[in-house]
Amino acid sequence: VPRLRGDGDGEQREPVTAGAGDGFFDVFGMFGVVYPRALVAALHFAPLLVCALDAALLGAPLGAAGSRGGSYARGLGTALSSWLYAAALPAALGASRALVTGRPLVWFGKPLVTLALYLPPALLAVLLPYVRQGRSSKGASKRGGRGGGGDG
């Protein structure tokens, strides 16, 4: 059962070995929610198990056109490319800006400058694969591919 812990409740910290101990998270830095180790695996792996069972039991082989497994494979590819682009695009723009201007750490110690330089390309890079996937899936449904749209 999860329990709440505030900052001033007087509890001492206990050393924990790797792979042992409770799971926890905080709520806006105001208080923490701690739950036992037995519940950690169930909460953290339940969504993965549900998706794997759904793809295995309700869909055709992974990657088959029009199957639920194919949908999971496309979603995984989109998510991975989104992560890759979100790291690579801001880094490439930052490196090219440093090469052109000769000032590699112009953002150092200036959080607003850092946000202005790196947040827009990161957001663009995160969203671009999903926009492309959405456009390609709409085009496939208009042509009678996955998602319906056929004659009969």
User: Which residues, in sequence order, are CB contacts of 55 under 8 Å at separation 6+?
Assistant: 62, 68, 69, 72
The Cα–Cα gap between 127 and 131 comes to 6
Question: Considering only CA atoms, which of 63, 11, 54 is closest in space to residue 32?
Answer: 11
pLDDT in tens, 98-115: 899 888 887 788 888 888
Per-residue pLDDT band for 90 (boundaries 50, 70, 90) equals very high
Strand segments, DSSP code E, in the chain are 3-5, 23-27, 31-35
First to last CA, the chain: 52
- Residue 81 pLDDT level (bands cut at 50, 70, 90): very high
- Position 83 scores a pLDDT of 92
Pick the more confident residue, 45 or 9.
45
Query: Whole-prediction pTM value?
Result: 0.51
Q: Which candidate, 61, 76, 54, 60, places its Cα nearest to that of 129? A: 76
Q: Which residues contact 72 (CB under 8 A, 6 or more apart)?
A: 51, 54, 55, 59, 62
Nearest to 142 by CA among 134, 133, 150, 152: 150
Given a cut of 90, whether residue 127 has pLDDT beyond it is: yes
Please check whether residue 69 is in contact with residue 54, taking contact to mean a CB–CB distance below 8 angstroms.
no
pLDDT at 121 exceeding the cut of 80: yes
